[in-house]
Structure 1
């Protein structure tokens, strides 16, 4: 444990930041799971709706440094490909 008062404060603030960042990462994962659920249930409208939410959240958190910008791009790209493939399969039937 830290001895100096400033060091003790740094431990507390870093713990708060860690908890906040973990909550934000959890929000991203929750919305991604929602999109994947609606993709698997072939609900195009809801999957697109939640994909738009994922895009805005991921972009916002990548600008703040919660996640890396390449990881944000990968999330969006993978989800978009799955939605596009779902639409192509639906249109071909």
Structure 2
């Protein structure tokens, strides 16, 4: 455990940020799973709307530093490719 006041504060801040990042990543994974389910069931329109939503969430997470910018782009690219192959 930290003894210095600023170090104690950093620990609190890190815990908050970790919780926020975990929530963001979990939300993204949920939407990706829904996208995959829509694609497998053949619901193309729902998959298209979910892709737009996932893309927005991924780029937002990248802007906030939760995930790397290139990782977000890679995931969006792969999802878009899967959608285009299904169509």
TM-score range with shorter-chain normalisation?
A: over 0.9
- 1:8, CA displacement in angstroms? 1.2
**Number of positions where the alignment pairs a residue of Structure 1 with one of Structure 2:** 87
Q: Which consecutive residues of structure 1, in runs of 5 or more, have no partner in the other structure?
A: 88-93
**Residue aligning to 1:3:** 3
TM-score by length of 1: 0.88
**Residue aligning to 2:60:** 60
Deviations 1:12-58 (A, max 9, x none): 11111111111111111111111011011110000001000001111
Q: Which consecutive residues of structure 2, in runs of 5 or more, have no partner in the other structure?
A: none
1:78 matches 2:78 = yes
TM-score by length of 2: 0.94
Task: Map 1:1-93 to 2 at 5 A.
Answer: 1-87=1-87
